[in-house]
Amino acid sequence: MLQANVEAVHHVFRKCCHLTEYAVLALLIWRALHRVPNNLPEWSWPKVGGTILVVFLYASSDEFHQSFVPNRTPLVSDVFIDTAGGVLGLLGLWLTRKIYYRKRR
């Protein structure tokens, strides 16, 4: 019983780590692709879509790579979890920008 609980917590912890890693990846991709010197880049939903596409393609390639690694299992659900992490990272950026610009007015 205890072993099952430990495994369940470990599984949830690993998935949360994936969410966090891919949220950071999305923020880094956004910054790299849309950097404007001395200013925040303009928010653009097509640019957000492009960033999410890059995150999705990277997550997909990571799962494809796992198909060649012994004792690793590629899962489509992991691609969705990783992409959701990217979406959450950009959502956090959008909310931060919204609050920042509201305070500047």
DSSP labels, 35-81? -BTTBPPPP-HHHHHHHHHHHHHHHHHHHHHHTTSTT----HHHHHH
Q: What is the mean pLDDT of residues 21-32?
A: 93
User: Into how many domains does the chain fold?
Assistant: 1
Q: What is the mean pLDDT of residues 61-75?
A: 92
Contact criterion met (CB below 8 Å) for 52 and 23 = no
Q: Which residues contact 18 (CB under 8 A, 6 or more apart)?
A: 78, 81, 82, 85
List the structure tokens of 100: 């920042």
Domain that residue 95 falls in: 2-104
Measured distance CA(97)–CA(19) in Å, rounded: 21
- Per-residue pLDDT band at 57 (split at 50, 70, 90): very high
